Structure 1
Amino acid sequence: MSDLICIVEQGPIRGQIERDMDGDPFLSFLGIPYAKPPLGKLRFKPPQPAEKWQGIHDGTKEGNPCYSLQVDFRGKLPKFRLKGSENCLVLNVFTHQLFKSGTENLCPVMVFVHGGAFMTGSCSRTTFGPENLMTQDIVLVLMNYRLGALGFLSIDDSSLQATGNAGLKDQVLALKWVQKNIKQFCGDPSNVTLFGQSSGSASVHYLVLSPLTKGLFHKAIMQSGTATCPWARGSNNLVEIARSSGCNRKNKREILECLQKIKVKRLIKAQNKKFARISGPGAQAHFGPCVEVRNPSAVITQEPMVIINSGNYNHVPLMFGYTSLEGILNTWGTRCQVKKKLRDLLPYSFNYDKKSAKFRELNQKVVQFYFGNDKPDPRKKEIVAQLFTDVTFLRGIFQAVKGHVKTCQKPVYLYRMSIESELNAFKKIFKYESKGVCHGDDVCYIFKTEHTKYSAKSYEDRSIRRFVKLWTNFAKTGNPIPSNNDELLTTYWYPASEKYLYFLDIGEELIADVDPPDMNRLRFWEELSKGIKEKYSHTR
């Protein structure tokens, strides 16, 4: 293993040999810096490319997670702990062979963006083990990016170069690193698929819409999140975080300079004072992507739906999907917490004063639709989960899908995940016993996680292989089911269209159909929002 060396632009990296789920070998290179550590005056600003290193970089150990509240799923209930480092902008690369002069067999590249509400998470092997995907001839890349205030604080003054979306700009720089270096790992830079889950999925959608990423990827998969979901937009927290951290200065430049100097732990504690507040299913994120003031490094400067409707984005094959009951995630917590959330059931984009008669009228219509004549009751977990599924996830996902179907010049695929097995780890973690697939359960089929176990040739094993085939087929060809010659993929999956919203239900079997069953509920939201000029957020 000592001679397993790959040379990239910044220098040589030592890797190691690992085994996939079938016991076959693949190569791994971990913790590769793709950017300078964003410390001091680089805090909150666009990332800078990594510098060359001396000697051989040790790629047999994972890098630091980005400093944040990291979720610990061990124990009876998930817990949050401060963990990580600002020196965290690294990526992991997994491949089957290294490039040698004369090698022409370059493989499709899949670049994954992890989720975590833009506040937590990393590309750690504990959740995103490559063993499942590496059964296929692909090259896999996973990245870290800045989170919370460090990644998504925004100042609407372009001269300060901290206009927001630093975490998304990290992802853009990682994609540029892939373009420059992935051939050394036998990856094809002209066939890159960007995919992500939850806030990672919304990140992918933002990058589809961004002019910064033209030519950096060629297909995109979005699992349970889009830029049009309410939680995928951050609020303007500069004044509040400045006050909470002791940086309440006269002007924005002085605030920025102060925030760049304070200890990171102090900054994150100030951030978490707001993050801990309870909010409803349609609430805006405290820290997340924003529409930036115009500047050369801006990810987007217009509202996502404006960009989608204009058709002025990256036209690549797109795959959108969701789990059948995403909102199981939101039933977690004390009854008191859920009850408080149920007081505000409207998307924040409706932009009504919560004390107004119109807010009360619309909110009551939602209560009536989901709870009938009863009051919102947190003990009715099935109804709570359905409500959060629709407002928090599905409404935004379907807005994006319907928009892209009208304007995208490439195929747009839609899926619904309904499969339930021993691999549905997050449903178990949140102790939800009724039927439905929780937000995050799809990750356990695509990646090896510490939360799941299964035996060879089991139902779970077959389900993993089906997911892996669908995802890697799309990466290879732009079509998740390119033929009917595979015994795992026995149906044809039509792209969605304006006339027919074709989708694939990924359950015990694959069922292709028109109009997902969830559309019946989403039509209620379409009717409710008629005549409302929605505010997605400030242009900052």
Structure 2
Amino acid sequence: MSKPAPVVTISQGTLRGSSGVDIRRNTFCKFLGIPYAKPPLGSLRFKAPLPPERWVGVLDATKEGDPCYQRDFLRNKAITGSENCLVLNVYTKKLPKPGDDLRPVLFWIHGGGYVFGSGSQIMYGPDFLVTENVVLVTINYRLGLLGFLSFEDPSLDIPGNAALKDQVMALKWVQKNISKFGGDPNNVTIFGESAGGAFVHLLMLSPMSRGLFHKAIAQSGCALNPWVRGVRGCHVVAEAMGLHEADDRTVYNALMQKTAQGIFEIQEKIRDRLLASELKPFGVVIEKNSREAFLEKEPLAMVLAGDFARVPLMMGYTVNEGTAYELFKKPELPEMPPIESTIPWYFGYDNDSPEAQVVADKIKDFYFEGKEYSKKTQSEKFTLLTDAHFLHGLYVTVISHINHAKSPLYLYKLVLETKLNFFKNLLDIKVPGPYHCDEIGYLFKNFTTPVIRTGSVEDISLRKFLRLWSNFAKFGNPTPEEYDPLLQSEWKPVTDTNLDFLYIGKTLTQMSNPDSERISFWKQLFSDSPAGKIANGSL
């Protein structure tokens, strides 16, 4: 006889969920497609989200809601989703009974370069993490122009960062409702990868999200990565629509006449070249004339000043983060971007200036030693893109955190290669070492997950990952026990500029100063740059 479907009553009404089976063959409850904000339709398009509405009767929470309108990155010609996308999923081992202890909450923010992705089970299945006695939440948020369009004109009330305000609204929903699923609203850990990792860091910077979470894990992304920041999109969108030199209101009125497909077609015309030296055509902006801003200051200035939430933080990166370029670059772009385009825009150079060319020559000599790009130097290409797009920003973040915060910071480097490496299973690249997104396969079941045999390297590596991440969520320390026979290693927090980190391979090893020669190279480049001189070369 089958068990009755799980039912929960929250602030909006009653939900009927369903059951799943985790990798340890235990059942768990899942509630899918829960609205956490009012649908951003009609006059709410591009605007900050509003609180969710109540419903009458019982809401069917057995099916996932729509992702934001996007191109499917696995099936490039397929379009999926809708504008009605502000939904989340909750997974819990069991619903609480009177007297039960509430469990830590893990709140996942997906990546996807601002243009694709969702919290769906096909990518972020709960089957692994629910074994660790935590409550898991995955969310959808607005993407592309729908999530990142911004205007100067205050009367339009579209100052930008709607996607990040979506995430704040979802965190507010968690605070209000998660105890009904057995989750502890006073122990919420936000975590995300790539753009999701950057959003985690931005939530630490934003005054809007203070107090809504208690720990943070930023995987393969932070607010200081050069691809995070964007520009106000009016003139770019106007050109794409043939409305040359149109003002904000004209562009807005034209966009409001478009369908979601029409807005997507405009988005596709905008050149997002993913170059470190250029601000994105749409992305995170510093808000002006906003009634309630997500971000009013430059992230770099906030990080250097220590203006961020002082919560325990875990950060890390993979050997080949630069492989992200292969996923996002357009077919007409070169195999190797111009060297000068790898200089982060926040260094303060004019890309066409003689000074930028001098820096580009230094970068080429350091990474390619005078050789031209070819298949034989593909590894050097990915190392350069890793450092320019990911590692330097992470280093600045780490140093600032230990200079300003008393809360611990745990740093890792992923070198592990097994059949669970997610991105490496998709790309036809033979460069050794894990790729961008590869750690996802150790936290979530997804469409590439193989059969995991007990005692295999996949099984052992998976259990180690789950133990580290869930320990951090529970205790703010990934290795709280004096000795754990599974982990067999202590993960020490970073305490000074002699950077302690965990080397995550088939064994876990505590080491110091990851990639120190490359970090020193970029530290010097930044110190010598116009922006670095203003910052007194402190980093």
- Please give the range of the TM-score, normalised by the shorter of the 2 chains: over 0.9
Q: What is residue 186 of structure 1 aligned with on the other side?
A: 182
CA drift of 1:401 comes to 1.2
Q: What is residue 463 of structure 1 aligned with on the other side?
A: 461
Aligned in 2, Cα 1:259/1:487: closer, same or farther, shift over 3 Å? same
Please report the TM-score for the alignment, with normalisation by the length of structure 1: 0.93
1:320-469 to structure 2, matched below 5 A, reads: 320-331=315-326, 337-342=334-339, 344-377=341-374, 380-457=377-454, 458-469=456-467
Q: What is residue 76 of structure 1 aligned with on the other side?
A: none
Q: What is residue 90 of structure 2 aligned with on the other side?
A: 93
Q: What is residue 11 of structure 2 aligned with on the other side?
A: 9
Please report the TM-score for the alignment, with normalisation by the length of structure 2: 0.94
1:261-300 to structure 2, matched below 5 A, reads: 261-275=257-271, 278-300=273-295
Aligned in 2, Cα 1:154/1:483: closer, same or farther, shift over 3 Å? same
Aligned residue type for 1:66: C
Q: 1 CA distance for matches of 2:477 and 2:529?
A: 37
Q: What is residue 536 of structure 2 aligned with on the other side?
A: none
- Output one character per residue of 1:27-86: Cα deviation in whole Å (capped at 9) or x when no partner: 00000001111112111110011101122111110110111223116xxxxx36332100
Aligned in 2, Cα 1:359/1:3: closer, same or farther, shift over 3 Å? closer
Aligned residue type for 2:358: E
Aligned residue type for 1:400: T
Q: 2 CA distance for matches of 1:380 and 1:295?
A: 47
Q: What is residue 227 of structure 1 aligned with on the other side?
A: 223
CA drift of 1:501 comes to 1.0
Structure 2 residue 151 is matched with structure 1 residue 122: no
SS of the residue 1:194 aligns to: strand
Aligned in 2, Cα 1:524/1:482: closer, same or farther, shift over 3 Å? same
CA drift of 1:209 comes to 0.6
Q: Report if aligned partners of 1:223, 1:322 keep a CA contact under 8 Å in 2.
A: yes
Q: What is residue 473 of structure 1 aligned with on the other side?
A: 471
Q: What is residue 258 of structure 1 aligned with on the other side?
A: 254
Q: Report if aligned partners of 1:247, 1:259 keep a CA contact under 8 Å in 2.
A: no
- Output one character per residue of 1:428-475: Cα deviation in whole Å (capped at 9) or x when no partner: 322222321100000000000111203221110111111011000000
Q: What is residue 510 of structure 2 aligned with on the other side?
A: 512
Which of 308, 315, 329 is the matching residue for 2:303? 308
1:94-243 to structure 2, matched below 5 A, reads: 94-100=91-97, 102-243=98-239
Q: 1 CA distance for matches of 2:72 and 2:230?
A: 19
SS of the residue 1:112 aligns to: strand
- Output one character per residue of 1:217-259: Cα deviation in whole Å (capped at 9) or x when no partner: 0000000000000111112221121332356685323322332
Q: 2 CA distance for matches of 1:351 and 1:342?
A: 16
Q: 2 CA distance for matches of 1:438 and 1:335?
A: 23
Q: Report if aligned partners of 1:454, 1:460 keep a CA contact under 8 Å in 2.
A: no
CA drift of 1:299 comes to 1.0
- Output one character per residue of 1:93-138: Cα deviation in whole Å (capped at 9) or x when no partner: 00122234x2331000110000001111001111100000011111
SS of the residue 1:230 aligns to: coil
Cα RMSD of the aligned pairs, angstroms, is: 1.9
Aligned in 2, Cα 1:279/1:343: closer, same or farther, shift over 3 Å? farther
Aligned residue type for 1:329: A
Q: Report if aligned partners of 1:378, 1:384 keep a CA contact under 8 Å in 2.
A: no
Stretches of 4+ aligned residues off by more than 4 angstroms: 246-250, 331-336, 340-343
Q: 1 CA distance for matches of 2:349 and 2:277?
A: 12
Q: 2 CA distance for matches of 1:10 and 1:468?
A: 32
- Output one character per residue of 1:305-362: Cα deviation in whole Å (capped at 9) or x when no partner: 2212322321110111111111123256769621344463311223333332112111
Q: 1 CA distance for matches of 2:380 and 2:248?
A: 45
Aligned residue type for 1:306: A
Aligned in 2, Cα 1:423/1:250: closer, same or farther, shift over 3 Å? closer
- The alignment-based identity, stated in percent, is 41
Aligned in 2, Cα 1:299/1:80: closer, same or farther, shift over 3 Å? farther
Aligned residue type for 1:155: F
Q: 2 CA distance for matches of 1:213 and 1:278?
A: 30
Unaligned runs of at least 5 residues, structure 1 = 74-78, 536-540
Q: 1 CA distance for matches of 2:246 and 2:355?
A: 38
Q: 1 CA distance for matches of 2:170 and 2:312?
A: 21
Aligned in 2, Cα 1:312/1:362: closer, same or farther, shift over 3 Å? closer
CA drift of 1:6 comes to 0.6
Aligned in 2, Cα 1:429/1:346: closer, same or farther, shift over 3 Å? same
Aligned residue type for 2:134: I
Q: Report if aligned partners of 2:349, 2:530 keep a CA contact under 8 Å in 1.
A: no
Aligned residue type for 2:49: P
CA drift of 1:499 comes to 3.7
Q: 2 CA distance for matches of 1:80 and 1:21?
A: 33
Q: Report if aligned partners of 1:245, 1:266 keep a CA contact under 8 Å in 2.
A: no
Aligned residue type for 2:100: E
Q: 1 CA distance for matches of 2:243 and 2:174?
A: 38
Q: 1 CA distance for matches of 2:7 and 2:266?
A: 43
- Output one character per residue of 1:174-232: Cα deviation in whole Å (capped at 9) or x when no partner: 00000000010011100000000000010010000111112100000000000000111
What is the aligned length? 527
1:490-501 to structure 2, matched below 5 A, reads: 490-501=488-499
Q: What is residue 535 of structure 2 aligned with on the other side?
A: none
Q: What is residue 538 of structure 1 aligned with on the other side?
A: none
Q: Report if aligned partners of 2:313, 2:408 keep a CA contact under 8 Å in 1.
A: yes
Aligned residue type for 2:61: G
Q: 2 CA distance for matches of 1:346 and 1:176?
A: 38
Q: 2 CA distance for matches of 1:3 and 1:423?
A: 32
Aligned residue type for 2:478: P
SS of the residue 2:227 aligns to: helix
Q: What is residue 524 of structure 2 aligned with on the other side?
A: 527
